Amino acid sequence: MRVNRRTGSEDRNRSRLSVRQEDPLRGPSPPQPHKPDRPDPQRPVRPPMEVSQLSHRRVNKRTSAIAAASAAALAGAVILLPNANASDEKEAAPRTFAGPAAAETGTALAADLGADAAGWYFDGDSGRLVMNVLDEEAAETARAKGAEARIVDNSMAELKAATQTLSDQASIPGTAWSIDPKTNKVSVLADRTVTGDKLAELEQATDGMAGLVSVKRSQGEFKPFADGGDAIFGGGSRCSLGFNVDVNGAPGFLTAGHCGGVGQTWTADQGGAQPLGATAESVFPVADFSLVMYDDPATEAPSTVDLQDGTTQEITEAAEASVGMEVQRSGSTTGLSDGQVTGLNATVNYGNGDIVNGLIQTNVCAEPGDSGGAMFSGTAAVGLTSGGSGDCTVGGETFFQPVTTALEAVGATIGAGGAGAGGEAGDGGEAGAGGEAGDGVIGEGAGDAGDAGAGDQGAGDEGIGSPVDGARDDSSGSGHQ
């Protein structure tokens, strides 16, 4: 640009003024999280004015100084606005959670959002809590709590109404359903027995709920895992001990409700030589849990789970499950297995009128004899094995009774303590009549290598101890696998 002495300062000031003429709010908006820029197609963005477009007029020194200061301030605002937005994005970034912490936050956030929440799940790979919501306002609330917000179509009320319709119109043996927050639908499973008229009945019930329900087939057969195993025995059944608990200072343990009714006595061996206790409360169907109180009130029931490798996992609390939570299951038939929670509030129709509600659905394998066994996540107790389809060779679905529901129903808390009553807490506790036993036999003795068998082989190399101590061992003397 050519500048003479008289107009030089004037042109320079006009050059600064050109910054003011450019209104930053009329250009594309600075990037916002989850808010894509959508400029108005009817209003083209006006380009900044060039100095040559400005009219040439006299500007005195005072006007020039004010204009320069204003231009500098606006220029600073143009530079600072993106930085402020970047700070907002950083604050709104989803937090990383552990499984139990995600469950606690998700439950509380869903309660706060009320009808605007449509379920949530835990992404184990990223450690993020994903909250389904119905509008942007609820999404902002979820983000403020560290969750990743996802706006979905189906409300929780609509999904629950769909499950009620299934209960009313499709109460068919061999079916199960739960709300799947990942798909924002009700996931319906039909096992291999659902054929012919039963399948037609199911299809008729679900056809009218397009967009709310998805139907899949299971290759196995839904049934309670009530037989097999060598952990606890009662009434001709063999099941797995779940978690030791405390009831007003007295020791007891939780197991599956379908394993035995109220008044059922339990022993640590099939022959009944090692009594454990009697069932104090039992619920099945509708729910699936039992509370067994130890005969000896001085029993110190350890709050641990056998990891099947010579070590145990301490259990310090009970936690709600969340979809996507990584869990492990320990049972007396198949030992330790792991997987993920895939559904909540599942309803399972085991047949013969045995319908159980409010279960946790997983892809963890289990087999007969694992019933009542512990499902846990880290140090948190999560569920008691109920039933399912498949096995630990081909896989399948397994359903669990939530521990929190069982604890509340029987007025118990997760217990803590050392070895069983009657022996030493360390190596060498003695009790029983027979051969060798293994870790922590519950009843009249305890110890990592105590004598406590009942019969030639006793309870096997692993024995029967804490919540699931004594999982099946190939050398078990119970005579069952």
Q: CATH code at 199?
A: 3.30.300.50
Inter-residue contact 230 to 470 (CB < 8 Å):
yes
Distance separating alpha carbons of residues 90 and 307, to the nearest angstrom:
40
* Residue 163 pLDDT: 94
pLDDT over threshold 90, residue 412:
yes
Same domain, 134 and 182: no
Distance separating alpha carbons of residues 349 and 331, to the nearest angstrom:
23
Cross-strand pairs, 176:
189, 348
Distance separating alpha carbons of residues 457 and 463, to the nearest angstrom:
10
Same domain, 9 and 103: no
Same domain, 253 and 379: yes
Distance separating alpha carbons of residues 8 and 11, to the nearest angstrom:
5
Share of residues in the chain with pLDDT > 70 (%): 65
* Residue 401 pLDDT: 98
Same domain, 132 and 10: no
> Is 473 annotated in the active site?
no
187, 258, 269, 466: the catalytic one is: 258
Residue 223 confidence class, pLDDT cut points 50, 70, 90: confident
pLDDT over threshold 70, residue 316:
yes
**Can you say whether the dihedral through the CA atoms of 331, 332, 333, 336 is positive or negative?**
positive
Rounded to two decimals, what is the model's pTM? 0.65
CA proximity to 387, closest of 400, 378, 375, 376: 400
> Is 371 annotated in the active site?
yes
116, 191, 288, 473: the catalytic one is: 288
Same domain, 116 and 198: no
Mean pLDDT of 408-422: 65
Q: Which domain holds residue 135?
A: 99-151
Same domain, 250 and 375: yes
Same domain, 211 and 223: no
Which of 68-82, 181-195, 438-452 shows the lowest per-residue confidence on average (mean pLDDT)? 438-452
Same domain, 325 and 182: no
Distance separating alpha carbons of residues 238 and 256, to the nearest angstrom:
11
Inter-residue contact 384 to 374 (CB < 8 Å):
yes
* Residue 262 pLDDT: 67
371, 377, 386, 389: the catalytic one is: 371
Residue 234 confidence class, pLDDT cut points 50, 70, 90: confident
Same domain, 133 and 84: no
Q: Within 13 Å and on the Cβ side, how many CA atoms surround 170? A: 28
Mean pLDDT of 341-360: 95
Among the three residues 168, 189, 218, which one is the final residue of a domain in this structure? 218
Distance separating alpha carbons of residues 330 and 272, to the nearest angstrom:
24
> Is 258 annotated in the active site?
yes
Same domain, 315 and 337: yes
Which of 57-71, 259-273, 313-327, 387-401 shows the lowest per-residue confidence on average (mean pLDDT)? 57-71
* Residue 134 pLDDT: 97
pLDDT over threshold 90, residue 43:
no
Whose tokens are 């009942």? That residue is: 454
Where are any strands of DSSP class E within 235-391? 237-239, 244-247, 250-255, 265-267, 275-283, 289-294, 304-306, 312-314, 317-318, 326-331, 335-349, 355-362, 374-377, 380-388
Among the three residues 188, 218, 248, which one is the final residue of a domain in this structure? 218
Domain count, the chain: 4
Same domain, 121 and 201: no
Among the three residues 193, 218, 243, which one is the final residue of a domain in this structure? 218
* Residue 128 pLDDT: 92
Same domain, 214 and 225: no
